Amino acid sequence: MDTMNIALPESMKQFVHEQIARGGYSSASEYVRDLIRSDQKEKARAVLEAEMLKGLASGDASAMTDADWREIREEIRHRHARRRQT
In this prediction, residues 16-34 reach a mean pLDDT of 95
Q: Which residues of 60-82 are buried (b: 16+ CB within 10 A; e: fewer)?
A: eeeeeeeeeeeeeeeeeeeeeee
Distance CA 38, CA 50 (A): 18
Distance CA 58, CA 60 (A): 7
Tens digit of each residue's pLDDT (9 = 90 or more) over 41-55 = 999 999 999 999 999
Handedness of CA 34, 40, 43, 44 (dihedral sign): negative
pLDDT band at 23 (very low <50, low <70, confident <90, very high): confident
Distance CA 86, CA 79 (A): 11
Looking at residue 53, what is its pLDDT? 96
| pLDDT higher than threshold 90 for residue 24 | no
